[in-house]
Amino acid sequence: MQENKRYYFHGDIVESGKYFCARCDLTVPISHYYEFIHSNRDVGDEDIKRFVSMKKAGVPAGYFRPENAENYIE
Ligand SMILES: [Zn+2]
């Protein structure tokens, strides 16, 4: 029985065609990351940094993230 809540890293696929943006705390389409929504100077690098730092920090207690979770950055 799985009681933990699914944890999403920045860029993880939530469902087909929908991704998690940790910078906005929103479920977004893939175009979100490429449309200068955050800032026109940090697209790309900041998204990768955010993903890597979340991966390093790991999944908090009470949550789980599947080993094979799909992410657009990876
Ligand atoms: Zn965003």
pLDDT in tens, 13-56: 999 999 999 999 999 999 888 876 676 566 578 899 999 999 99
b/e per residue, 10-21, with b = 16+ CB within 10 A?
Answer: bbbeeeeeebbb
Specify if 58 maps to a domain.
yes
The secondary structure element, H or E, covering residue 64 is strand 63-64
Residue 15 lies in a domain: yes
3-state DSSP assignment of residue 63 = strand
Answer whether residue 2 shows pLDDT above 80. no
What pLDDT does 42 receive?
A: 60
> Does residue 19 belong to any structural domain of this protein?
yes
Give the Å distance between the CA of 49 and the centre of ligand 1.
13
pLDDT at residue 25 in the model: 95
**Span from the CA of 1 to the centroid of ligand 1 (angstroms):** 32
In a domain, 13, yes or no: yes
Q: Do the domain assignments include residue 9?
A: yes
Rounded to the nearest angstrom, the distance between the alpha carbon of 33 and the centre of ligand 1 is 7
pTM for this prediction: 0.85
- Separation of 21 CA from ligand 1 center, angstroms? 5
Q: Is residue 51, in this structure, part of any structural domain at all?
A: yes
Do the Cβ atoms of 9 and 67 come closer than 8 Å?
Answer: no
pLDDT value, residue 41: 60
54 assigned to some structural domain:
yes
* All residues with CB under 5 Å from ion ligand 1: 21, 23-24
Please state the domain count of the chain. 1
Is 16 a member of any domain?
yes
Q: Say if residues 15 and 42 touch (Cβ distance below 8 Å).
A: no
